[in-house]
Amino acid sequence: MDKELLIPAGLVAGVDEAGRGPLAGPVVAGAVILDPENPIDGLKDSKRLTALRRDVLYAEIEEKALAWAVGRADVEEIDRINILQATLLAMQRAVAALQPAAEHALIDGNRCPDLACPAQAIVKGDSRVAAISAASIMAKVTRDREMLLLDASYPGYGLAQHKGYPSKAHIQALENLGVSPIHRRSYAPVRRVLEKQANPSQA
């Protein structure tokens, strides 16, 4: 995608995450090793694709990639070690699950997790490297589908619509319904609701 980037030879995994910003649910990372003999058209940053297009590309990546995997860090881990470390942990888990194993990893962003193979961080990699774009799609679709299931388990918060992001409706639902087990207590909007519940006279 970007002529200035030198992509290593061999089994190169693109790695990206979805879900750093939401107030609820896990952070999910994708890792994808594309097959140069079986290219996939239309790969780009998952945020620039419609949900329908992401679903179509997800199925194509499943079918055509040499390897793909997802890893996650749950809400308890996010609250315990912070979202950056939880994101790196999810990336580690995704790369470790690849079969065949990656010989090199290209990570979206400016930080690399500790991996068993060499890794390179690429800022805006999800729009510059096809394998990272594929990883962003796998992570985003996996997480969105998980949030739909969580919406059924925790109705009223609107998770199916906003996927846990801090929309006005989500904040209002938090204040009305209280904090659920899948909300990130270390995030300021959730913490404020907990504090109001603990001290109703100060609300």
pLDDT band for position 4 (cuts 50, 70, 90): low
Q: Decide if pLDDT at 60 tops 60.
A: yes
Element (H, E) at 168: helix 168-177
pLDDT band for position 3 (cuts 50, 70, 90): very low
Q: Evaluate whether 45 touches 136 at the Cβ level (below 8 Å).
A: yes
Q: Decide if pLDDT at 2 tops 80.
A: no
Q: Evaluate whether 33 touches 102 at the Cβ level (below 8 Å).
A: yes
Average pLDDT score over the chain: 94
Longest CA–CA separation in the chain, Å: 65
pLDDT tens digits, 128-144: 999 999 999 999 999 99
Provide Rg for the chain, Cα atoms: 18
Q: Decide if pLDDT at 5 tops 90.
A: no
pLDDT value at residue 197 = 84
The torsion angles phi and psi of 2, rounded to 5 degrees, stand at -125, 115
The torsion angles phi and psi of 68, rounded to 5 degrees, stand at -150, 155
User: Which residue segments constitute the domains of the chain, with CATH numbers given?
Assistant: 12-153 (3.30.420.10), 159-196 (no CATH)
pLDDT value at residue 29 = 98
Indicate the pTM of the whole model. Answer: 0.93
Question: Taking the CA of residue 56 as centre, how many other CA atoms within 13 Å lie in the half-sphere pointing to its CB?
Answer: 10
Q: Decide if pLDDT at 16 tops 50.
A: yes
Q: Decide if pLDDT at 199 tops 90.
A: no
Mean pLDDT of 77-95: 98
pLDDT tens digits, 175-193: 999 999 999 999 999 999 9
pLDDT tens digits, 140-163: 999 999 999 999 999 999 999 999
Q: Decide if pLDDT at 45 tops 90.
A: no
Q: Which amino acid is at 1?
A: M
pLDDT value at residue 17 = 98
